[in-house]
Structure 1
């Protein structure tokens, strides 16, 4: 009985230590929430299976980089096929705050996948 309770106490202490370390290491003070809507066009072969990245810029030259939109914050569900013809895909997640409003962006395909060509209707 003593052995079982000491294991529980040690597990509790370990979890508490990890939680405190994560809380102290959490630098959310300079993090902002970004939400991105991307519409793939409806023309033939408009969709892609490539990995898409997004870089947002402000007028001060600062940028926020999202290297993989789907893994960063894809909201469409685990079995959704992103960036397919006619889709409106929604992404949201944390990124480095900018000093001003977004004034430019660069949406980039890594060219991977069987269908690497892509037609973006709007962001």
Structure 2
């Protein structure tokens, strides 16, 4: 019986020491659900360990009047393939950009197409621009193709432009020149195959 009382006294002392030393680990754990292991060798019976767990603090409520966080915008990866015609002077050194729309007016734009090749948009060439990131636009049916009209011979004869996103692919059969006589202007071409268009 005396032995049981002695163990109970040791246990009470150990709990008191535990409460005394627990403030620091609990405060540290208050930022996330972590478990701190406390050991006090002189006061605890051999082999006895105590675990103190602090639950994660709940996030603070947003301040009144503040707007809720914006929903993430979904993005997709596109591939654009341009085919330059095989006519005399068909290639261009100008910077080419393209914008694609669907019939609802949703659009994705790719500025200054570049794929690391030494010379894109040369006569008779097919150039592929992969992993272009932009907002997801399904049902593409309209294209605005432009270049900045720079270079010695900026006029560009475009055979076709293809755009794909996932399994969906759209081909615009251009087969015409994209050019401007005034070097200060952009050269542009608008093609639409939409049943209707609502910008």
Q: TM-score range by the shorter chain?
A: 0.5 to 0.7
Q: 1:115 Cα deviation (Å)?
A: 1.6
Answering whether residue 159 of structure 2 is matched by residue 115 of structure 1, we say no
Structure 1: tracts of 5 or more residues without a match: 1-26
TM-score of the superposed pair, with normalisation by structure 2: 0.43
CA RMSD for the aligned pairs?
1.7
| Larger RCO of the pair (alpha carbons < 8 Å, separation 6+) | 1
Query: Which residue of the partner structure matches residue 35 of structure 1?
Result: 79
Query: Which residue of the partner structure matches residue 90 of structure 1?
Result: 128
TM-score of the superposed pair, with normalisation by structure 1: 0.68
Report which of the two has the higher share of helix. 1
Aligned positions, number? 90
- The change in CA–CA distance for 1:32 and 1:46 in structure 2 (over 3 A counts) is same
Report which of the two has the higher share of strand. 2
Q: Structure 1 stretches (4+) deviating beyond 3 angstroms? A: none
Q: How does 1:40-79 map to 2 (within 5 A)?
A: 40-70=84-114, 74=115, 78-79=116-117
Structure 2: tracts of 5 or more residues without a match: 1-70, 162-199
Q: 1:80 Cα deviation (Å)?
A: 2.7
- The change in CA–CA distance for 1:65 and 1:85 in structure 2 (over 3 A counts) is same
Larger radius of gyration: 2
